[in-house]
Amino acid sequence: MNEWLTRQADALGVGPLTEADQTTLLDLARIAAHESGDRTNAPLLCYLLGRAGGELDALAEIVRSTS
């Protein structure tokens, strides 16, 4: 995770993103942007994932199965 994201994670009181989490989130953002036909869905999906909480891999599987 780059320095800027690390500062944001610290400020928000959450742990840093792992390499695996970064890869998963970027893949889900790609799916949201391309499969929905609207690029603005990428950050909105990431927000929904954060609100959902829980295990990112399990949430990713839900997104992939409904896309």
For the chain, domain boundaries: 19-66
pLDDT per position as a tens digit, 6-62: 999 999 999 999 999 999 999 999 999 999 999 999 999 999 999 999 899 999 999
Please check the confidence at residue 63 and state whether its pLDDT lies above 90: yes
pTM: predicted TM-score of the whole model, two decimal places:
0.84
Task: Write the CA distances from 47 to 5, 19, 29, integer angstroms.
Answer: 15, 19, 10
Read off the pLDDT band of 1 (50, 70, 90).
confident
Rounded CA-CA distance 8/47 in Å is 15
